Amino acid sequence: MADIRLDRARVLKSILWAITGLALAVAITRFTFGLGATTNLSDGVPWGFWIGFDVMSGVALAAGGFVLTAVVYIFQLKEFYPIVRPAVLTAFLGYIAVVLGLMVDLGLPWNIWHMIVFWNPHSPLFEVGWCVMLYLSVLTLEFLPVPLEGQSRWKKIHDTLTKFRIPLVIAGISLSTLHQSSLGTLFTIMPYRVHPLWYSPILPIMFFISAMALGLFMITFEGHTTSWIYRRHSHRDMLAKLNRATPWIILAYLGVRFGDLIVRGQIHHAFSTDWRAIAFWVEIGLLAIPGMLTTVKAVRRKDGALWLVAFLGVLGVVVNRINTGGVMHTGRGIEAYLPSWTEFAISFGVVSVAALVFLWLVEHFHILESTPHDAEEDPKTKPMFDNLTRTWLGTPSFADRTRFSLSFVLAVGLGFMLLSGESVRSKGVEPTPAYAARGGDTLWVDGNRDAFGVPFTHAVHAEMAEDMYNGCVTCHHMNMPGDRNTECSSCHQDMYSATDAFRHSWHSDPNGANLSCGQCHPRGEIRQASTAIKCVECHHDLIPEQVEGGAPSFEHPVNQYMAPSYADALHGICLDCHHQIADEWGIEDFQQCGFCHHEHRTLADVGPDEYPTSGKVIVPNTSGDSWE
């Protein structure tokens, strides 16, 4: 016997697991190869779809929690109590989705804890970050009584949290109000980057008003969607009554927005032929049309019509957040931004994870209130049987795990297939060729020729290296064939990316070294760098003799193809020495970045025939126990 009434849930979960699997493949690639391999964002366009959808929209979609708790617990409209729990759960999962989206979007996500310790109260992001943490904590405490309900060993915690429900609700409303508005504050500090149709000094007010409208839309959308999935009787009358306030909130929002454009003299942008003007009217239409339709009683009394109205309203606010959050930014150079499919995969994957958790909690805990109609339509009263021709996958729970895991695994494989190695390698940090340092006894090291560099007293450093290390080979640890003291940029050919110092294609090319595979790779071995013969077998002068006798602290992978970036190579060698000197001689600032990198030291500060000399030439003094 099988309960085919749950087929909707099974199909939906299979789709959600597939989206999650695709997102997992992209997420693994993102954390392995960096942001550049999975997004079209750049230094010129640092904010885009992820910030607009995952963060801005995620916070707004959670607005139903504070709106409904205020209606029920503050304004004492108890008739809406049956839909409080799913609204709070939606808000709770919405904020978790925001955190997941941030972890993917941030360049250094492991430093997200810094704002807890390193305070910057003048930054809007500081307030946003703290509101996310605090409100997520409050939502956790608000929702925790639900899974603890009926658990005898957790009864004291359940009862305590229930007693503090009103203070938690007040704290949640306060924090959410601050957060919904402070997201708008982020963009008030960039008046020349946000397009005039989306920028306003009163963006915090607009964000808060639109969040209230989205909260009502989201409650309606979630209520009707859950009822359809599980074939339950919808709270149609309750949701219809709740949506009576929607047109007034949307009217207030549109009035404030158009009034602001008129007062600031920016309304003419809405009537231009620019594509942004079209996007503006599409966004306005997605809000105005649902607002007008909710005034029609017949629309509010039909599940399908009200669901469609709620979906359009949610879409309208989400589009507004995406536009404001990055798509409609101007003055960012000539770079055009169009989200990549991987950005959509991550965003939809975060939503899918939240939806799967929501459905699991609905099925295992008392989230949805029962109604008499549900009892009449209980599928247990009407047994249904599968056709004999169907394949039996086991018990329902085992069969579901089989379906969902299959969808998940196939989607992960598809994701990795779409993320080819060539596409991953071709994205990321833009190629920046490294050039040799210029000068004589004092070198001007600026590998990327951006006019900012570091003066390097070559003669002094060579003398110190002779005394403390192995002389010139401390830095010139490998040579090009037939060369001595090869310059760094010959092998470390890019400022920020590893480069192929071996040039495999040249060695195997008939117009190059014209070597056969068997000359480097032993027969029967896997043909890879680690199993090939060492380069010194052919190039005996590749490694200076001094290195063999007393190698510096870093290793020389002479049988590897890739050389680290120019910046990594120089910093790696320089910092090893500077750390040792700082420890031995007690010079704390000797290992700090500012010791070598001074803002006022640029190539423009010197004449064409001279190069800057260091203001602090480090040499041992006569006593031998300090540095000058």
Top-tier CATH class for 39-339 = mainly alpha
Two structure tokens written together for 540: 């005996």
Give 296-341 pLDDT, tens digit per residue. 888 888 888 889 999 999 999 999 998 888 777 765 544 567 888 8
User: How many C-beta atoms lie closer than 10 Å to residue 210's C-beta?
Assistant: 27
Residue 89 · residue 64 · CB < 8 Å: no
What is the DSSP code string of 380-406? GGS-----TTSPP-SSHHHHHHHHHHH
Residue 453 · residue 439 · CB < 8 Å: no
User: How many C-beta atoms lie closer than 10 Å to residue 193's C-beta?
Assistant: 15
Quote the pLDDT of residue 357.
93
Beta bridge partners of 438: 444
Q: Where are the domains of the chain?
A: 1-35+340-422, 39-339, 438-605
Q: HSE on the CB side for 291, CA within 13 Å?
A: 21
Quote the pLDDT of residue 388.
52
- Degrees (nearest 5) of the Cα angle 531, 534, 537? 135
Using CA of residue 276, residue 280, residue 283, residue 285, what is the dihedral sign? negative
Quote the pLDDT of residue 400.
79
| Whole-angstrom distance, CA of residue 272 vs CA of residue 286 | 20
DSSP 562: E
| Whole-angstrom distance, CA of residue 548 vs CA of residue 551 | 6
Quote the pLDDT of residue 371.
54
Beta bridge partners of 433: 494
| Whole-angstrom distance, CA of residue 280 vs CA of residue 213 | 18
| Whole-angstrom distance, CA of residue 408 vs CA of residue 405 | 5
Two structure tokens written together for 197: 């149709």
Residue 318 · residue 312 · CB < 8 Å: no
What is the DSSP code string of 472-493? GGGT--S--TT-SS--HHHHS-
| Whole-angstrom distance, CA of residue 110 vs CA of residue 522 | 43
| Whole-angstrom distance, CA of residue 324 vs CA of residue 59 | 14
**pTM given for the model:** 0.70
User: How many C-beta atoms lie closer than 10 Å to residue 445's C-beta?
Assistant: 19
Quote the pLDDT of residue 375.
43
Give 501-524 pLDDT, tens digit per residue. 777 777 888 887 788 888 888 887
Beta bridge partners of 620: 627
DSSP 624: S
Residues 6 or more apart whose Cβ sits within 8 Å of residue 117: none
Q: Which amino acid is at 317?
A: V
In 239-373, where do the E strands start and end? none
- Dihedrals phi, psi of 64, to nearest 5 degrees: -60, -30
Q: Which amino acid is at 500?
A: D
Residues 6 or more apart whose Cβ sits within 8 Å of residue 69: 84, 87, 88, 142, 169, 172, 173
Q: Is 570 exposed, middle or buried (0-12, 13-18, 19+ CB in 10 A)?
A: buried
Residue 403 · residue 10 · CB < 8 Å: yes
Residue from 174, 306, 314 nearest 242 by CA? 306
- Dihedrals phi, psi of 452, to nearest 5 degrees: -110, 125
Exposure letters 160-181 (e unless 16+ CB within 10 A, then b):
ebeeeeeebbebbbebbbbbbb
| Whole-angstrom distance, CA of residue 239 vs CA of residue 9 | 23
Residue from 433, 470, 624, 628 nearest 544 by CA? 470
| Whole-angstrom distance, CA of residue 284 vs CA of residue 603 | 52
Compute the CA torsion angle 283, 285, 287, 290 (nearest 10 deg): -150
Q: Which of the residues in the chain have pLDDT under 50?
A: 1-5, 333-334, 372, 375-384, 549-554, 556, 558-559, 606-628
| Whole-angstrom distance, CA of residue 324 vs CA of residue 57 | 11
Residues 6 or more apart whose Cβ sits within 8 Å of residue 427: 36, 37, 38
Exposure letters 29-55 (e unless 16+ CB within 10 A, then b):
bbeebebbbbbbbbeebebbbbbbbbb
Two structure tokens written together for 552: 């510096």
User: How many C-beta atoms lie closer than 10 Å to residue 80's C-beta?
Assistant: 19
- Dihedrals phi, psi of 443, to nearest 5 degrees: -95, 145
